[in-house]
Structure 1
Amino acid sequence: MSETLISETHTRERRDLYHEADVVVVGAGVFGCAAAFALANQGRSVLLLERWMHEPDRIVGELLQPGGLTALRKLGLGHCVEDIDAIPCYGYNVIYHGEPCAIPYPGLNEKGEVTHAWGGRGTGGTKQEGCGFHHGKFISQLRKACLGHKNITVVETEVVKTIRGEHTDQVLGVESRTTVNKETGEKKSDYFFGQLTIVADGYDSKFRKQVLETKPVVKSKFYALELVDTKLPLPFHGHVIIGNAFPILLYQIGTHETRALFDVPANIPQASPEAGGVRGYIKNCAIPVLPEAIRPAAEKALADGKIPRSMPNSWLPAVPQTPSGLVVLGDALNMRHPLTGGGMTVAFNDALLLSELLHPDVVPNLEDKAAIRDAMNKLYWRRKNFTSIINTLAQALYSLFAANDRQLRALQLGCFEYFRRGWTDGPAGLLGGIIQRPLVLAYHFFYVAFVAIWMNGCNVIGGPLGFWKLPLALLDAVLILWKACIVFLPVIWREGFQ
């Protein structure tokens, strides 16, 4: 016992006085905190560096899917959703041109499996749930857990660059600027060293380009309003609104607060300066699509005269890394459209997998270059069974819900009809991070495509001169299937096989 205390005291002294640790984590956000906590639980000494430790105020990272909540609990951080006024979420409610359709998360049988993964909707089993919350309150809880961990030292400092060896390209740690006088803003240079440096500095990462050649693809932004004391059509569910506007998300983040996110693609005429800009689009195009009971709260939230806060909707496929003392993870490595709320679910599952692959029994020495490279190669490929589903689903559903041509609108209608007929356990399980089989995703996506083809064919043939329009229906069928392939196959190939 005394030897353990001496060792803990020594490692803390190394962190606090000499800024040396086994692992340096840059960024105390969702992934950074989770990874730091997981590695520290294995006995690793961790330095967690964050530019600002005050409670963040962001409009994303507010909905945690059941699969993410399960991973959070496995990390030992399940308590972080307690005492922050988190609201349970039991599934989704898709409102298509005013017609609602509930899509509950599926229950799990005694084996922990979704019984109707390939079709239908079950009524039994252990019901799954996610939760919504204020992002800042959740992050503060994650940071509090790290601050209280005996193997973690948290430092408020701005990391500015990496430190490399004189004769090798090995990253030894990072250089930062730490404020020493808050009144004058005076800063001093600091240096932090670790056997392994993990960069998790988010979607706007300044270090990504040092390791990766990819850049995020941004085609739209989410603009946010916070609705106060409004009642959702289906309580304790996320809402997706599809109508004569681009997709809108609604979900409760507190007892009195509901988040409304409006997707606004770049350079659309409805949001031009002549049309009143983004505020004009939300007022004239988006709010009229909302359920009538919600419109007054949205109009009140928009009445402050300000442009709503926004976040880019980014797609950034992960790429292999060849670590040399530095790895990039979290949103700095991989992003998807936030339509399906899968970002934190990916982050927590990645943190679990990382801690498994870097466990001291597997990699005793984090300075072992070959072992780290092998671990990161396994991480890249093993995470695909899970992340390829979340990422592909996000990109594909956004293409359908933001349909801008005839074939996509046919697929959009087919998707809603698929849900309306009760074939929801599979899609909801995939969306919630519960089902981790990419083949199930492919099955449901193309089943939706054939439902869309059938419905379109019935509409074409069922009209005047129906039989004579059979060639047109067949041509439509080919075009709809081709569009489905264009939407799905490139993304699943990039996310699952490259």
Structure 2
Amino acid sequence: MVAMEQYIFGGFLALLSGFVLLHFLRRENKTPGSRGGLTAEVGGEADIIIVGAGVAGAALAYTLAKDGRHVHVIERDLTEPDRIVGELLQPGGYLKLVELGLEDCVGDIDAQRVLGYALYKDGRNAVLPYPLENFHSDVSGRSFHNGRFVQRMREKVSTLSNVRLEQGTVTSLTEQEGMVKGVQYKNKNGQEMTAYAPLTIICDGCFSNLRSSLCTPKVENPSCFVGLILENCELPFANHGHVVLGDPSPILFYPISSTEIRCLVDIPGQKVPSIANGEMANYLKTVVAPQIPLQLQDSFIAAVGKGNIRTMPNRSMPANPHPNPGALLMGDAFNMRHPLTGGGMTVALSDVVVLRDLLRPINDLHDSPTVSKHLESFYTLRKSVASTINTLAGALYKVFCASPDQARQEMRQACFDYLSLGGIFIKGPVSLLSGLNPCPLSLLLHFFALAVYGVGRLLLPFPSPKRILLGARLLSGASGIVLPIIKAEGVRQMFFPATFPAYYRAPPLN
């Protein structure tokens, strides 16, 4: 009998030990980063995953969290960015920043007010002020170090308890039955993780490795920017961006702090002179320096001599989405334009406002097909602002570049003279440029008014067959510049958005 009890007791201990061992083995296998190739799962408490915490991602995270959403933000690198673009916020973009409650992010970073542009060509200049008469005195453009601005936004996001801001590299989207359910990523420690949420928004920038899953990317690289910082010098017109219509392409100057001026030299094509062997420094000193305003030349040459020369490819990509349940593209991952006009952040912040307003009436995001169908209207509602700024950026860049074609030369000169007329000839185009009047029809009217003005200059006082032919070529060239851009943006969405069913689509019933 005693022996029987010992056998039973021993069996019980063995069974109990087995359960304890199994429990610890299971816990070990669930430990994030455990060996054996296992992927840890992040709890499903997030309503929305945002990939990227740049301007678009940080602004979106803040506004959605303020609306009560639980947001998980995954950013490749949470240290301060160091870029030579994204440093000028147009007044229209600043108004969106105010609407999102983020206007204090341009405070305490030595941001500079920008009140307009100064345009230079062949020794002449024209001052193009922003039409700010009907706005609060605080409204203007802002220029700053991009990294400081982004970090201020991230700091503000991190103060919200319902935001999880994490450093990690997203490697792929997680899909089930054709719907995006979350993302796979490597965290800061290199551990493979999976995060789930009803909606995933991709804002991982111009070098996005996820965009091809959600759109048809048609990326063009029209030129490169060469960036310098000029120190302790004054611009000819304070608090203005300066655009020099140089040869072969524009040269930009604008303040990014109280002691620094950013210079961006555009070089057409993808190949630039070598920095390493001194070709770039020689090019800047011999070709570029003689074309810029005299009072900036010494500081420009000194900046070249310091050797802190940076380059960045300029990219252009129209928005061509594949609606995918459970996921959405935003920011430069979705839509890019030439940075000549500084409109990128305005488009991004405007898109954030549009998406915020679309998501506000939706309490339950788990019905992915229905929510996705509702969010299709995002692609139409954003077009007024985005297509105007995109088209203007692409068209102005082509007009501002030098060309051996005489008709293009006449178009370039006509653009400068048209803007020099003042009055409505400045107010209309600058309202478009600044994002204060994002109207595609107004853009088209001003562009062809400029072309007709150019033809008029050729025909007066006495037309000749040669001048008539040149005028016809000018009009044809103008059409060849702007119409392909409009076609890529989508004629119907730009000018007739109300013809799209998604324009009237109501939010899903909860």
- TM-score band by shorter chain is 0.7 to 0.9
Kindly name which structure, 1 or 2, has the bigger radius of gyration based on alpha carbons: 2
Distance in structure 1 (CA, Å) of the matches to 2:124 and 2:345 = 30
Q: Residue 497 of structure 1: CA displacement?
A: 2.0
For the Cα contact (< 8 Å) 1:245–1:285, is it kept in 2? no
Q: Residue 243 of structure 1: CA displacement?
A: 2.9
Q: Residue 127 of structure 1: CA displacement?
A: 8.4
Residue 411 in structure 1 maps to residue 405 in structure 2? no
Q: Who is 2:264 aligned against?
A: 261
Q: Could you give the per-residue CA deviations for residues 430-467 of structure 1, whole angstroms, max 9, x where no partner exists?
A: 00000022111111111111111122334xx6xxxxx6
Pair 1:375–1:299, CA change in 2 (3 A): farther
Distance in structure 1 (CA, Å) of the matches to 2:231 and 2:477 = 40
Distance in structure 2 (CA, Å) of the matches to 1:235 and 1:445 = 28
List aligned pairs for 1:156-167, cutoff 5 A.
156-165=167-176
Q: Who is 1:431 aligned against?
A: 433
Distance in structure 2 (CA, Å) of the matches to 1:73 and 1:297 = 35
Q: Who is 2:340 aligned against?
A: 339
Q: Could you give the per-residue CA deviations for residues 172-231 of structure 1, whole angstroms, max 9, x where no partner exists?
A: 111111233xxxxxx212221111111110001000111112231002111100111111
List aligned pairs for 1:9-408, cutoff 5 A.
18=43, 20-109=45-134, 128-165=139-176, 168-180=177-189, 187-266=190-269, 271=273, 277-305=279-307, 308-359=309-360, 361=361, 363-404=362-403, 405-408=405-408
For the Cα contact (< 8 Å) 2:168–2:187, is it kept in 1? yes
For the Cα contact (< 8 Å) 1:90–1:128, is it kept in 2? no
Bigger RCO (CA 8 Å, 6+ sep): 1
2:379 maps to amino acid: Y
For the Cα contact (< 8 Å) 1:358–1:375, is it kept in 2? no
1:43 maps to amino acid: G
Distance in structure 2 (CA, Å) of the matches to 1:130 and 1:417 = 24
For the Cα contact (< 8 Å) 1:248–1:263, is it kept in 2? yes
SS at the partner of 2:228? strand
1:293 maps to amino acid: Q
Q: Residue 17 of structure 1: CA displacement?
A: 6.9
Q: Could you give the per-residue CA deviations for residues 125-155 of structure 1, whole angstroms, max 9, x where no partner exists?
A: 9685111000000000010011001221101
Distance in structure 2 (CA, Å) of the matches to 1:29 and 1:92 = 26
For the Cα contact (< 8 Å) 1:28–1:49, is it kept in 2? yes
Calculate the TM-score normalised by the size of structure 2. Answer: 0.84
For the Cα contact (< 8 Å) 1:401–1:412, is it kept in 2? yes
Q: Could you give the per-residue CA deviations for residues 224-266 of structure 1, whole angstroms, max 9, x where no partner exists?
A: 0011111101010011001334100100000001100000112
1:210 maps to amino acid: S
Distance in structure 2 (CA, Å) of the matches to 1:319 and 1:17 = 31
Distance in structure 1 (CA, Å) of the matches to 2:325 and 2:376 = 13
Distance in structure 1 (CA, Å) of the matches to 2:265 and 2:203 = 27
SS at the partner of 1:83? coil
2:216 maps to amino acid: E
1:482 maps to amino acid: S
Q: Residue 108 of structure 1: CA displacement?
A: 4.5
Q: Residue 55 of structure 1: CA displacement?
A: 0.7
Residue 480 in structure 1 maps to residue 480 in structure 2? no
Distance in structure 2 (CA, Å) of the matches to 1:489 and 1:440 = 15
Residue 489 in structure 1 maps to residue 489 in structure 2? no
For the Cα contact (< 8 Å) 1:388–1:438, is it kept in 2? yes
Distance in structure 1 (CA, Å) of the matches to 2:216 and 2:486 = 20
Distance in structure 1 (CA, Å) of the matches to 2:356 and 2:218 = 27
1:101 maps to amino acid: A
For the Cα contact (< 8 Å) 1:414–1:452, is it kept in 2? yes
For the Cα contact (< 8 Å) 1:106–1:127, is it kept in 2? no
Distance in structure 2 (CA, Å) of the matches to 1:216 and 1:280 = 31
Calculate the TM-score normalised by the size of structure 1. Answer: 0.86
Q: Could you give the per-residue CA deviations for residues 242-296 of structure 1, whole angstroms, max 9, x where no partner exists?
A: 133410010000000110000011267x9489x9643332222111111111111
For the Cα contact (< 8 Å) 1:86–1:131, is it kept in 2? yes
Distance in structure 1 (CA, Å) of the matches to 2:476 and 2:268 = 24
1:244 maps to amino acid: D
Q: Could you give the per-residue CA deviations for residues 44-91 of structure 1, whole angstroms, max 9, x where no partner exists?
A: 110011111111111111000000000011111111000100000001
- Give RMSD over aligned pairs: 2.1
For the Cα contact (< 8 Å) 1:407–1:479, is it kept in 2? yes
For the Cα contact (< 8 Å) 1:211–1:321, is it kept in 2? yes
For the Cα contact (< 8 Å) 1:245–1:289, is it kept in 2? no
Pair 1:93–1:429, CA change in 2 (3 A): same
Distance in structure 1 (CA, Å) of the matches to 2:50 and 2:42 = 17
For the Cα contact (< 8 Å) 2:94–2:139, is it kept in 1? no
Unaligned runs of 5+ residues in structure 2 are: 1-40, 493-510
SS at the partner of 1:259? strand
For the Cα contact (< 8 Å) 1:272–1:278, is it kept in 2? yes
Unaligned runs of 5+ residues in structure 1 are: 1-15, 113-124, 181-186, 462-466
SS at the partner of 1:234? coil
Q: Residue 369 of structure 1: CA displacement?
A: 2.5
